[in-house]
Amino acid sequence: MTFKFEDCIKGNLLRKVPASEQKAERSIKKAKMWLSEAKTSIDNKSFNSAVMGAYLTMFHSARAVLFKDGWREKSHACISRYLDEKYVKSEKLDKKWVQILDYQRNLRHEDQYNIVFYSTEEEADKAIQSAKLFLLEMEKLLQI
């Protein structure tokens, strides 16, 4: 299902909460932990786990931005819609980062729910590289 930002608000899938630098910091810490685990997974030829870890790196680093801004998600897809609305539209974030997040979210969904889908080493490696760069971009947004 494709959501628009307004759908996320109306559906209470994105809601205002008190802004929290502390939660943002903890979410970045969690993102870095997932990145480390993703790297370990690919080294051990556990490509599905590497893809999952790479996505969770991106999820938690994007979520840190929401925490800093005073928002909470109830939908992974709505995190992308938030970044679009608040950062892409204001030209503080290149649209490609939201597209990469959506791609990785969809890949993670396939990996998690499709019983005939298996991640390849190439997909896992690409996911980890994307996750590293995405994390850096989210850390830049946290400095704004």
pTM (whole model) above 0.75: yes
User: How confident is the model over 97-109, as pLDDT tens digits?
Assistant: 999 999 999 988 8
Picking from 87, 43, 42, 45, the residue whose alpha carbon sits closest to that of residue 64 is: 87
Residue of 70, 95, 66, 99 lying closest to 82 (CA atoms): 66
Q: Which helix (H) or strand (E) holds 16?
A: strand 14-16
Length of the chain: 144
**Helix (H/G/I), strand (E/B), else coil: 116:** coil
- Predicted local confidence at residue 108, as pLDDT: 86
SS3 of residue 120 by DSSP: coil
Residue found under tokens 């991640």: 119
pLDDT the model gives residue 113: 84
Tell me the pLDDT tens digit for each residue of 11-31. 999 999 999 999 999 999 999
Residue 134 CB partners (closer than 8 Å, separation 6+): 57, 58, 61, 62, 97, 100, 101
Percent of the chain with pLDDT over 70: 99
The reported pLDDT for the residue numbered 132 is 98
The tens digit of pLDDT for each residue in 61-101 reads: 999 999 999 999 999 999 999 999 999 999 999 999 999 99
Report the distance separating Cα 49 and Cα 54, nearest Å. 8
pLDDT at 1 (0 to 100)? 58
Domains and CATH numbers, the chain: 5-143 (1.20.120.330)
Rounded average pLDDT over 4-15: 95
